[in-house]
């Protein structure tokens, strides 16, 4: 069969699956993200193998496009008014989630006999969340309350804290193992974060004044796509975090584009097809054959990550004097985990090659759980806090 026909039929079929998930999601308790991942697992290489190889091999491109759009939209919600009203709360909750996760995962992994260097890096990887899945669940639930705004703000900054924590973890492992040149990954991580912030602010600042001029007061689709693709492409080229760059760009435009207030509507209109492809292909690429290899470590990682998120946000919420519902449910809402964690696992395996299979096995296998169950729990948290 011709590659073009394979691609078109596969994309068309996945779009139809996306329509099915909307219908099923309205009739059941399962969020759309979870349903898309399940469908992806069924039609992927580990299921009925319906997807052509050329589609699967281009997953990285689809991932980049989808996540840049997600980052842009999440950043667009971080307006001055919102940050002024919940900035301190976001800071304490996000820091609580990160440090709580690291401390709980690290201490219990060490207690069961996992080598210290492995426990340090796994605890840092556990801090990562999944902005794409979280934003999609919030959008699907049509939540507009303070809890939803807090959640989106926290996932917007959560991975930045996680990357900083991971860079510190890598440095600590270098000291423990006596590895030379461990300053390099720390500097690289700092460059990835602060370089992304600089890039996102630069593009966003310029775009905030240039967009909305062709049709006064309203940015058109071409402008929206241009700045999103340009930001993503430059971030990958400069080897900085495209997710953080997109978030900062969206935040900058939202706060500096005073001549219009709809900079994000065009992206909102075309984002869903890319997210459908992203989640289906993410499900198609999940593998189960690593579970027998990591057993107890994966189980403890899952349990302690859940405990760490819940305990950490509870502690952060107490300091920030958050509403009791926020203290009780924010940790549950932050459980989805995907792309950033995979990236951290790849970096960790490069610096400790003897444990490469362990890192990848733990993160890949637990991603199955957190990507399938995480959105369900996020949806539950949003429903339980619907009046907040």
Residue 50 has a pLDDT of 82
Q: If pLDDT is split at 50, 70 and 90, which confidence band does 104 have?
A: very high
Q: What is the pLDDT of residues 283-327, one digit of tens each?
A: 777 666 655 667 788 888 889 999 999 999 899 888 888 788 888
More confident residue, 233 or 282: 233
Higher per-residue confidence, 243 vs 85: 243
Neighbours of 57 (CB within 10 A): 9
**pLDDT tens sequence across 172-200:** 776 676 554 545 656 666 777 788 889 99
Residue 203: per-residue pLDDT:
93
Say if CB 71 and CB 267 are below 8 A apart. no
DSSP letter, residue 215? B
Residue 214's pLDDT band, with cuts at 50, 70 and 90, is: low
Q: What is the mean pLDDT of residues 266-275?
A: 73
Q: Above 90 in pLDDT, residue 230?
A: yes
**Position 114 confidence tier, pLDDT thresholds 50, 70, 90:** confident
**Start-to-end C-alpha separation, the chain:** 54
* Helix runs in the chain, H state only: 3-27, 32-43, 53-57, 59-76, 80-111, 116-125, 131-141, 146-177, 183-210, 221-237, 242-256, 265-285, 291-320, 324-333, 339-351, 356-384
Residue 330 has pLDDT above 80, yes or no: yes
| Cβ(190)–Cβ(167) below 8 Å | yes
Is residue 369 pLDDT above 50, yes or no? yes
Higher pLDDT, 102 or 262: 102
What pLDDT is recorded for position 226?
87
Mean pLDDT value across residues 88-112: 88
Q: Given a cut of 50, is residue 357 above it in pLDDT? A: yes
* Model pLDDT, residue 200: 92
Top-confidence residue, 98 or 385: 98
Give the pLDDT of residue 342: 66
In the numeric block, which tokens belong to residue 78? Answer: 């971080």
Residue listed under structure tokens 């946000």 = 313
Q: Is the pLDDT assigned to residue 10 strictly greater than 90?
A: no
Looking at residue 180, its pLDDT comes to 46
| Alpha carbon distance 330, 382 (integer Å) | 9
pLDDT above 90 covers a percentage of the chain that reads 8
The whole-angstrom separation of Cα 115 and Cα 321 is: 37
Query: Residue 215 — very low, low, confident or very high, per pLDDT cuts 50/70/90?
Result: low
Which residue ranges form the domains of the chain, and what is each CATH number? 59-384 (1.20.1530.20)
Whole-structure pTM value = 0.71
Predicted confidence (pLDDT) at residue 161 exceeds the cutoff of 70: yes
What integer best gives the mean pLDDT of the chain? 78
The three-point CA angle 260-219-228 to 5° equals 115
Which of 36-50, 333-347, 372-386 is predicted least confidently? 333-347
């Amino acid at each position: 069969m011709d590659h073009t026909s394979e691609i078109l039929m596969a994309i068309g079929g996945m779009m139809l699956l996306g329509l099915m998930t909307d219908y099923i999601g309205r009739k059941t308790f399962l969020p759309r993200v979870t349903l898309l991942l399940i469908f992806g697992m069924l039609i992927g290489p580990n299921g009925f193998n319906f997807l052509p190889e050329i589609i699967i091999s281009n997953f990285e491109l689809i991932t980049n496009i989808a996540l840049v759009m997600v980052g842009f939209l999440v950043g667009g919600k971080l307006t001055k008014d919102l940050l002024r009203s919940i900035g301190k709360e976001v800071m304490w909750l996000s820091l609580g989630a990160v440090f709580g996760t690291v401390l709980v995962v690290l201490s219990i992994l060490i207690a069961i006999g996992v080598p210290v260097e492995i426990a340090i890096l796994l605890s840092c990887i556990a801090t990562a969340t999944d902005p794409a899945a979280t934003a999609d669940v919030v959008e699907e639930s049509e939540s507009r309350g303070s809890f939803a705004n807090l959640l989106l703000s926290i996932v917007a900054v959560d991975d930045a804290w996680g990357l900083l924590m991971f860079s510190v973890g890598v440095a600590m492992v270098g000291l423990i193992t006596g590895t030379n040149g461990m300053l390099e990954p720390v500097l690289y991580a700092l460059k990835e974060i602060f370089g992304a912030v600089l890039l996102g602010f630069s593009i966003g600042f310029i775009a905030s004044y240039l967009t909305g001029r062709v049709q006064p007061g309203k940015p058109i689709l071409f402008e929206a796509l241009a700045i999103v693709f340009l930001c993503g492409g430059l971030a990958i080229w400069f080897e900085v975090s495209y997710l953080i760059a997109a978030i900062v760009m969206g935040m900058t435009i939202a706060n500096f584009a005073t001549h219009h207030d709809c900079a994000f509507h065009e992206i909102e209109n075309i984002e869903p097809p890319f997210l459908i492809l992203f989640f289906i292909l993410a499900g198609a690429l999940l593998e189960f054959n690593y579970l027998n290899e990591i057993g107890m470590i994966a189980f403890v990682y899952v349990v302690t990550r859940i405990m760490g998120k819940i305990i950490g946000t509870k502690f952060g919420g107490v300091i920030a004097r958050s509403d009791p519902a926020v203290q009780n449910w924010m940790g549950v809402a932050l459980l989805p985990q995907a792309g950033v964690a995979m990236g951290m696992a790849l970096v960790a395996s490069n610096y400790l090659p003897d444990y490469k299979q362990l890192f990848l096995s733990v993160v890949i296998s637990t991603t199955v759980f957190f990507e399938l169950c995480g959105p369900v729990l996020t949806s539950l948290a949003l429903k339980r806090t619907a009046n907040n």
